[in-house]
């Protein structure tokens, strides 16, 4: 059973995590939850408040989770606070290092940038975050015209918000096969993926 972790924090952008959550959760459902499971976690494992006031109850705490096979780091205004929390960043670094792949969505790229995963690498982020990223990782190679890019072996970044769904489908296909990705896109009626296949 593969484990996909999604990190949650206060002021996280809703679609940044909900889009990938839906893609990978629907895929799990279509295989009777036998191939993988999606686990959400926050620093304390307690309720977080996303952008615009949505309350979300994570499954567990960052400091109690075991390593994940795959890791998703969403963005949002709260990512500014995340990168200042040394304990959280150190634990996230351990999880990233142990994962087969890690994807960031939107300003979740700040986490990867601060931790050094984007040095001299291509990356995507939200169009309003490129200036912030230039300060965080001046040696990075921004790709504002791309929806997502592979920054390094096992490290992927996407542009803002809805682009996380596109990257999720790319990684779903790469990880679990095109058949499952196509079935998931059909169930979700997600035309951008279906029109590419």
DSSP string, 151-185: EETTEEEE-STTHHHHHHHHHHHHHH-HHHHHHHH
Q: What confidence tier does 103 reach under pLDDT thresholds 50, 70, 90?
A: very high
Distance CA 175, CA 3 (A): 12
Mean pLDDT of 181-191: 96
**HEC profile for 113-144?**
HHCCCCCCCEECCCCCCHHHHHHHCCCCEECC
Residue 98 has pLDDT above 80, yes or no: yes
Domain count, the chain: 1
Q: At what angle do helices 14-30 and 163-176 cross, to 10 degrees?
A: 30
Residue 148 β-bridge partners: 158
Residue 9 has pLDDT above 70, yes or no: yes
**Higher pLDDT, residue 66 or 139:** 139
| pLDDT for the residue numbered 197 | 65
| pLDDT for the residue numbered 49 | 98
Query: How many CB atoms lie under 10 A from the CB of residue 91?
Result: 17
Q: At what angle do helices 178-188 and 14-30 cross, to 10 degrees?
A: 120
Percent of the chain with pLDDT over 70: 99
Mean pLDDT of 147-153: 97
Q: What confidence tier does 86 reach under pLDDT thresholds 50, 70, 90?
A: very high
Distance CA 49, CA 119 (A): 31
| pLDDT for the residue numbered 165 | 98
| pLDDT for the residue numbered 196 | 77
Distance CA 50, CA 12 (A): 5
**HEC profile for 59-93?**
CEECCCCCCCCEEEECCCCCHHHHCCCHHHHHHHH
Q: What is the mean pLDDT of the chain?
A: 97
Distance CA 83, CA 119 (A): 16
Residue 91 has pLDDT above 70, yes or no: yes
The whole domain housing 86 covers 2-194
| pLDDT for the residue numbered 13 | 98
- CATH at 70: 3.40.50.880
Q: Tell me the two tokens of residue 83.
A: 């990168």
| pLDDT for the residue numbered 68 | 98
Pick from 154, 162, 161, 156: nearest CA to 193: 162
């Amino acid at each position: 059973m593969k484990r996909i972790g999604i990190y949650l924090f206060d002021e996280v952008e809703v679609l940044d995590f909900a889009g990938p959550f839906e893609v990978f959760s629907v895929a799990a459902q279509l295989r009777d939850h036998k191939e993988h499971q999606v686990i959400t976690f926050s620093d304390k494992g307690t309720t977080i408040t996303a952008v615009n006031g949505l309350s979300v109850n994570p499954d567990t705490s960052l400091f109690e989770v075991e390593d994940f096979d795959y890791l998703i780091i969403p963005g949002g205004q709260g990512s500014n606070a995340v990168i200042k929390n040394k304990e959280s960043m150190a634990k996230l670094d351990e999880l990233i290092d142990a994962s087969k792949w890690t994807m960031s969505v939107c300003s979740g790229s700040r986490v990867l940038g601060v931790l050094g995963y984007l040095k001299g690498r291509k990356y995507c982020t939200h169009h309003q975050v490129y200036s912030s990223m230039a300060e965080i990782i001046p040696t990075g190679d921004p790709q504002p015209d791309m929806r997502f890019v592979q920054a390094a072996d096992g490290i992927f970044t996407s542009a803002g918000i809805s682009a996380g769904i596109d990257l999720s489908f790319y990684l779903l296909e790469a990880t679990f096969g095109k058949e499952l990705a196509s079935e998931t896109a059909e169930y979700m009626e997600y035309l951008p993926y279906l029109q590419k296949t």
